[in-house]
Amino acid sequence: MFASLCISLHTPNTFAQNIEKVLATEREGLALSQRAQEKVNVLDDQAQFAQRQYRQILREQQLANKYQSLLSAQVKHAEEVLQGIQKKQKSLRHTRMMLMPLMQEMLKTLSTMIQSDTPFLLPERQARLRNLQQKLQDPSLSSGEQMLSLLDAYQVELSYGYSIESWQGKFQNKLVTFVRIGRLGYYYFSVEAQQAAVWQDKWKPLPKKWIPYLKQAQQVASGEIPPHILTLPRLDMESL
């Protein structure tokens, strides 16, 4: 009976201890499970982050490939343009080499024309020739600028053929009035001195009767009177 009593006295404590052990084990298992889940969550987050990074890298790589492709196309285009420029420069150098002798020949022809032409405004025209020669020797001017200057000079000379002009100047130390009718007639007259002349390889005197007609031509040239048909000496001098 004593032994039986002892058993009944110790049983509750043992049961409590067992319960505590079970609970402790359960708590430990739960903690382990929570830690494991946390690790799983961390790993899942890391996997998602890595996946996002991978996708971002793919997008960046695609953009880089597109940029590289565009850049390569631009470089290729630039190289083609450069090759075209080099060809044009080569052609331009050849053109310049051909153009300079041509311009020199044009200047020589213009000089010959002026020398063989009626000698009106001769100092002005000779000065234009000298200026042209300087421009053709000026390295700071492009071939285009030199050619434009040359063509301008030709245009001025051509304009003399269809214009009428009058100016005052000295002839044998006397003040006279010169009259140019295109390239058809070149005259001078002096009302005060009652002299007049026409150019035919040299100055040939005109009768005084022509002075009023030359005066009228001078007035037309200066705009004093409206243009009209002019009566002037024939250059063959048969009517003088």
Structure-token match 């009058």, residue found:
166
Alpha-carbon distance of 183 to 185, in angstroms, equals: 6
- Smallest CA-to-CA distance from 121 within 174, 188, 172, 173 is with 188
The first and second tokens of residue 209, run together, are: 């009767």
Task: For the beta carbon of residue 139, count every other beta carbon within 10 angstroms.
Answer: 5
Q: What is the pLDDT along the chain (240 residues), one digit of tens a residue?
A: 444 444 444 455 676 677 777 677 777 777 787 887 777 677 677 777 667 767 766 775 776 577 567 657 766 766 787 677 777 767 777 777 788 889 999 999 999 999 999 999 999 999 999 999 999 999 999 888 999 999 999 999 999 998 999 999 999 889 999 999 999 899 999 988 889 999 999 999 999 999 999 999 999 999 999 988 888 886 654 445
Complete edge-to-edge strand list for the sheet that includes strand 185-190: 164-171, 174-181, 185-190, 195-199, 203-205
pLDDT number for residue 10: 47
* Alpha-carbon torsion angle 218, 224, 228, 229, nearest 10: -20
